[in-house]
Every structure is written in structure tokens, then in C-alpha cells.
Structure 1
Amino acid sequence: MNILIVAPYVTFPDEPGANRFIAIARLLSKKHKVTLVTSRFCHILKSHRDEIKSLDDINVVLLDEPGYRVNVGLGRLKSHRKFCENFQKFMLTNQCKYDLVYSAYPLVKTNYILGKLKEKLNFKFIMDIQDVWPESIFGPIPLLSNNFGKLLLSPITKYANHTYAHADALVAVSKTYMNRADVNHLDNQYKEVVYIGADNLHFNSEINKSDHKKMIATYIGTMAGSYDLETIVRASTLCHDQVEIQFIGTGPHEERLKKLNSELGGYVRFRGVMAYDQAMEKLKYSDIAINPIHSTAQASITNKLSDYFCCGLPILSCQENIEVRKLLARGGGIYYQSGDFKDLAQKLIFLAKDRAELNRMSAINKKIAQDCFLREKSYMKIVDLVDRLVEL
């Protein structure tokens, strides 16, 4: 079959991250002809790609957009608008006939365009729900997190519902997101929940952590509005004798966090942006991972949670999402109160004194990773869904 994958936020193997849609493209290309459409602008690095990317037997198409400096702002909206204009031109002028289009959501507009074109161009349409819009912007912006905000954003909610309704089948990174996107109540055979996962389980090689002078606690990811990183910086002032805390990544709040850290004694180490393999090497040598998502955020099973599990790490989390809490309640996670740096520090100190407990939690999360997060196993559900849909 001729399959088009649309994923504006892709990161390629030589860029930070191990992207879900690269993995899906590679799996599908084993038996189908695959084209991947993405942006020339790299969302994570905030820079434009200078040349066409090579990706095995997959045809890669880079569409232009001006780019943006911050994740929330008018610049991003203008950039996405231009990308969508170029995407629509691509779909209408491209001579290839696609049997199926597999599209990342968000962007909402690219999926809306595909929904409007699927009958004219005669393709089946699978939407892969990575985030829920506009709900995901309620949390980081307090003004929009109440009932008034939801009313204000109701036109966008209706637009999102109309977009979801175009899908012939749905994939989602969590049950939470699937429930939100399934406006048509599709038959179960056309719905698959598949965690973001990872290409490898990074804990396969034996690592001796018993000689760590301090417990190493790591946050990896974007330093932005959905993540309560200030609480971690403040907690470091109370537990630095027992715990070494490190941040891996970058983001719009990095400089503010570095300034606060310096004012409070400089106990958190900022490691910067790393290539994915290098970041996983640093992460797997940690003793515990921190999942500091604001209690008001709409996030569910995120990239960082997948990485934490695939490194076999115990997880300290303040995320309120029920699905996440159930997963961690199997014994591999401990909850701390969102925004309470004293509570976080106390939990860190408690775990730093109990290597046996850390080992017990790690063993539980390694088992969960093997069952639920290894892509070569879990992503076969996506391949099977594609085959089922096109056979209709």
C-alpha cells in the first residue's frame, strides 16, 4: 500500500528524542511504501533544517514554515498557519494516490484538512492522539483553567470535535486521550491505546548504583509551563546532603530556573540538551526520576514517563491524571503533593536512605516497561490496525 504519515513535530535520529512517528514509519515501511511529511522547522531545537533528511527507504518531505521562539505565543500560531497552507497545497497538487493517511494530532488543522479531503482523494484516515486541544492549554494558563475559560474556548472545542469525527480509526497514547477523541464511539477494532514507549529498554545492561555517594534524581524534558520545576529547585535546598538533582533538557523557563537555583545555593545541576542516546545513558545511571507535571495540566502518559519506565527507574510524581496514578500505584511510584517542595524533599530523603526500596520499585517498573512500553512489541497493534482498516 501507499501510506502517508503526517507528523509536524518529528525529531530525526540525529536530533534530540526518539520520535514515535519515525518508529511507526520504519515499521510500516517493511511492507508498504511510506512517505513522511513533516516541517523543515524543528520544534525542539527551534531551528530550521538545512537539508533533506534521509530515512532508510522512507520518502521524507519537509514543508516550510517561518518558525517561532516560544511554545506559547502568536509567533507559533502564525508559523503553524503557514505550515498548514503549505500542507494543503501539498495534498492537492501531489500526484501520489495514498491508500491510507496516518496523522499526528496535534496539529488540529492538518487533521481537519485531511478530514475534508479524504473522500475526494479516497484514503482511509487514522488519527494518532498525542495531546488534546484545547484542553491541554487549560492547565498552564490559570485564566483558562476554570469554567469561564472553558466557555471562552468552547468554539475551539467544537472545532476539535468536528476534526476528531473525521477519523476512520484512532490511536492514542493513553486511555484518557482516547476517551476524549472518540466522539463517534468507534467500534473497538478501530481503536488502539499504544503508549509512546521507546525503541529499547535501557536497563538491559547491569548497572551498579550502590556506590553512589548521594541518590541521583533526574528530570528530563522541556522546561515549560506544564512542569512544576520550581518546586524541585526549592526542594533541593532541603535535601542536597542526601540527593543530587539534575535537569536534562531546555525550554522557555530555563533561564528563570537557573536564576532561582543560583539564588538558593545552586544545588540543581543543569545538564543541557543531549542527543537521545546520550540522555538515556545519563538517565539510566540515575536512582530515581521525577515527574513534576502540574496538578492542573491535562497531560497523560508522556514521553518522559515512557523514558523513565524504559530506564527501569522508580518514579516520584505529582501528576493527578488517574491513568498515570494507577500505573504508578502498581508499586513503582510514589506520589508527592504538587507545589509542595517540603513534601518532595521529604520523599527524596526517605528514598535516599532505603536502597532496598529503590530496587523493589525499579523491578516493578522494569516489568511494566517490558509489557507495555517496548515499541517492537506494542507498536505491532498499530501495524495490525492499518491492515484491518485498509482491508475494509
Structure 2
Amino acid sequence: MKEILIISNYYPPEKGAAANRIEQLALKLHQNNYKVSVICPLGNYPKGELFPEYKGKFSVTENRDNITVKRLWIYPSVSKNLIVRIISVLSFSLSLFFYLLFKKTPSKVVVQSPPLLLSFISVFVLSLKNKKIILNISDLWPLAAIELKALKENSFSHKFSIFLERYIYKKASLIIGQSNEIITHVKSLFPDKKCFLYRNFPNHKVENLDLITEENQPIKIFYAGLLGIAQGVYEMCEKIDFRSLQDDKIEFHIFGDGAEKKLIEALISSEKGKNIFFHGMMDRKELHEKLKTFDIAIVPLKVRIYGSVPSKIFEYGSLGFPILYFGGGEGETIVEENNLGWVAQVGDYKDLNEKLKSISKISKSELDLMKKRIFEDTKKTFNLDHQMKYLIEKDVF
């Protein structure tokens, strides 16, 4: 049995797309006869505090669904104080550096990027040990940070991040990227680098559509995920014009946690919060059960981020939900080419409200037919098993 190691900043029981994405990769490799191990921090995301089962521990080794998970020490924080955040990143970075330097590791290692510092440390040590480094790029940093205005262009932090980025691309044995834009970017810097597309397809194991379309009920649109700056859910709540949607035809339901949570809760309790409902964070299985009577998934980004393709397109499209996409970039192409629903121009709330008006006029029977068609189509187009088989045949792993 071939061995492979995955290094990630997130892993269940942590919540969110990043943790789910890495778990799916680990499980699929295991199903394809790989002995898989994962190195990650002690569980703390998204609240930035250690989960009760990890408090007071320096490291933990556990088995989750036949995957060996090694959790290393971290000083967790989601503080807005830059110094505290840097200390948090450095804490796990140091734990990881010494672990990789002195512990025996498999000959093949998947390194998740971003975060850039963690991927740099991983690639640096692993290259010294002549390991096969498979760099898994989910977002382009620091480019995305500039677009989100989290970094100032040409600042020291920006230039240092570019150095880290170039180093890991150069030293990686090969690269798997979650969008064509990511691969184009890497190829523009290193034309001879071996790159492969690796979409974040889910593995729901749902053979038959189990969504329930409720007649004589409002159309339920939902957002489920991180409530952070990049998603812009709070601004969306402020600018959706529910008053123009007659007879309360549409409800907007929010599931998740993050920096904007309190702002969203305050808005919902005000006059502007009409037809907006907040449900907090739920376990993935519990969430999917709750969503069975919902109708449309909205997938937003505050600005168009080059290289980013939100995994929610694949996550909810595969369950049969029509998608209202509001994020620009390659995600628009995927929604349009696969006929998954509607696209509103990123940042254009007038266009978003126009799309919502047209959605409010759709009958529940039409929505039911859409769900059935999307569910059947995505079985073929968003197929994780086919993707994994292709990459194994190409000797990626």
C-alpha cells in the first residue's frame, strides 16, 4: 500500500470548505488503496480557540475514518491585532517545522496552500529531504489578498508574500489547482511546471434526489458558510431589496459563523431584517438535513477574486440546488456552462435584485424540475471518483 501525507491548516472536526476539501481528498486517496496521514493544528477553527478535547495538549494523534491525523500545537487566535495573528501563525509553523525536520515522513506529500507561510515551511523542509511535493493551490495568494485589500500593494508584506509564493511554485514537484485561472497564473511564472486541474467536487453519496419542494411556501434562498470579509454577506443583507419582492415571495436564510455574525444578527433585529433568518453554525450532516426543504443556494464573493472558484457551487449543485452566483470570475463560467441557475454581476446589487425579482416569479413546479435536472447532470460533471481516477492514472499521487 502506497503512503502519502497531507499537510493542511484545517481538518475536521473543524468546519468550513477548507476542512471538508482536505478530508474528501484524504478519504478518496484511502479508498484508492493509499495509506493516508494528515498533519494539522489542534482543532480551533473558526472561533480561534481550542476545542475542549484538545485543551491542555501539546499534540494529539487520532484515527478518523482510517486516516491517521497528527495534530500539532498552535496558539489559536482570530484576533484583529496583527501581532497576535502573527504569533498564532508562527506557533503552528514552528511545530510543523520541527516535526517535518526530525520525523520520518512518506515519500509523497500533499501540501495545501494558502496559508503561504505554512506551505513555504513544508516545501522548504520536504525539498531538503527530496520528497515528491504535490502543491494543492486553492487560492492565489498574495494576489487575492491585494484584491480583498487585506494587503497593500508593494508593501514589505506583499513583497515577502510574493517571495514565498514563487519559492513554493518553483520547488513543488507538481501542482494541482482548483481553477483554470490558478494553473494559468502558475504557468505564467513557471511555464514548464506540471499542473493539473483538481476541482473541489463533493462526495455526498446521495443516489436519489431527496430535496422536498414545498408548494404554497416562499422561495427559500440560503447561504451556508463563512461569514467573513471575502463573502460580503452582511452587505448583501443590507442591499437586497425585499420590499420590491411582492407578497413575501422570497426568504433569505443564513447558516454559518465568522467576523460578520454580530452585524448580521443586529441587522436582522432591525427593520431592514425583514425576510432574513439566521440559523448559526451547524454540523454538515445536520445542515444538509435542514436544507432539504430549501430551494436555491446563493454563492457570493464581495469582489471578483482571480483564481477563486467557491466550492459551494459544486457542494450544492451536486445536491440538486439551483445556484444564484454573485462572485464573478471562473465561477460564472461554471454556472452558465452547466446551466445551474442565475448569475448576477459581482458587486452589482441592482443586477442581483433584478435576478431576485425574476426568481420570485418562478413557480415551485418549475423549481422542482430544475432541481431534478441539476441533480442528474452534476452526477456526471461534478464526479470526484472520475477526477481522482484520472489524476492517479497521470501519476499525480
Question: TM-score, normalization: structure 1?
Answer: 0.86
The 1:290/1:103 distance shift into structure 2, 3 A limit, reads same
User: Could you list the runs of 5+ residues in structure 2 that have no partner in the other structure?
Assistant: 55-59
Q: For residue 218 of structure 2, what is the amino acid of its counterpart?
A: K
Contact in 2 for aligned 1:11/1:42 (Cα 8 Å): no
Matched, 1:161 2:166: yes
1:364, distance to aligned residue in structure 2 (A): 5.1
Which structure 1 segments of 5+ residues have no match?
Answer: none
Deviation at 1:79, TM superposition (A): 0.9
Aligned counterparts of 1:303 and 1:380: Cα–Cα separation in 2: 20
1:233–1:268 contact (8 Å) kept in structure 2: no
**Cα–Cα, structure 1 residues 139 and 261, in superposed 2: closer, same or farther, change >3 Å?**
farther
**Is the counterpart of residue 246 in structure 1 residue 236 in structure 2?**
no
Deviations 1:122-169 (A, max 9, x none): 31110111111111212332774xxx5689723422321121111111
- 1:82 — aligned with what? 91
Match of 1:221? Answer: 225
Determine if the alignment matches structure 1 residue 68 to structure 2 residue 77.
Answer: yes
**Contact 2:11–2:43 (Cα < 8 Å) also in 1:** no
Percentage identity across paired residues of the two chains: 21
Q: Specify the alignment match of 1:185 in structure 2.
A: 191
In the alignment, what sits opposite 1:326? Answer: 333
**Which whole-Å CA distance do the structure 1 matches of 2:175 and 2:208 have between them?**
32
Higher RCO (C-alpha 8 Å, min separation 6): 1
Superposition pairs of residues 264-303 of structure 1, within 5 angstroms: 264-298=272-306, 300-303=308-311
Change (3 A) 1:102 1:312: same
In the superposition, relative to structure 1, how do residues 327 and 71 fare at CA in structure 2: closer, same or farther (>3 Å)?
farther
**Structure 1 residues 19 and 206: alpha-carbon distance in aligned structure 2, compared to 1, 3 A threshold:** closer
| 1:6-28: CA deviation from partner (whole Å, max 9, x where unpaired) | 1111123x856661222222233
Partner-residue secondary structure (3-state), 1:316 = strand
Q: Is the aligned partner of 1:211 residue 2:215? A: yes
Q: Does 1:176 align with 2:176?
A: no
Partner of 1:22: 23
Matches of 2:319 and 2:79, distance apart in 1: 30
**Given that residues 16 and 275 in structure 1 are in contact (C-alpha distance below 8 angstroms), is that contact kept between their aligned partners in structure 2?**
no
Task: Call closer, same or farther: CA 1:72–1:133 in 2, change over 3 Å.
Answer: farther
Q: Distance in 1 between matches of 2:181 and 2:64?
A: 32
Q: Is the 8 A contact 2:5 2:39 kept in 1?
A: yes
Does the CA-based 8 Å contact 2:310-2:331 persist in structure 1? no
CA distance in 2, matches of 1:122, 1:339: 45
Name the residue aligned to 1:9. 10
SS in 2 for 1:29: helix
Pair 279,80 (structure 1): closer, same or farther in 2 beyond 3 Å:
same
Do the aligned partners of 2:180 and 2:307 also contact (CA within 8 Å) in 1?
A: no
RMSD: 2.8
State the AA in 2 paired with 1:247. Answer: I
For each residue in 1:269-307, what CA deviation from the matched residue of structure 2 results, as whole angstroms up to 9, or x when unmatched? 001100001112233432111112123434622222222
1:237 aligned residue:
242
Further displaced range: 193-202 or 239-248: 193-202
Report the CA distance shift for 1:166/1:6 in structure 2 as closer, same or farther (over 3 A): same
The number of residues matched between the two structures is 380
CA contact (8 A) 1:314 1:362 kept: yes
In structure 1, the residue matched to 2:42 is 40
8 Å contact kept, 1:218–1:288 = yes
Residues 247 and 269 in structure 1, CA contact (< 8 A), matched pair in contact too? yes
**Further displaced range: 48-57 or 279-288:** 48-57
**Cα contact 1:169–1:186 (8 A) shared by 2:** no
TM-score of the two chains, using structure 2 as the length reference: 0.85
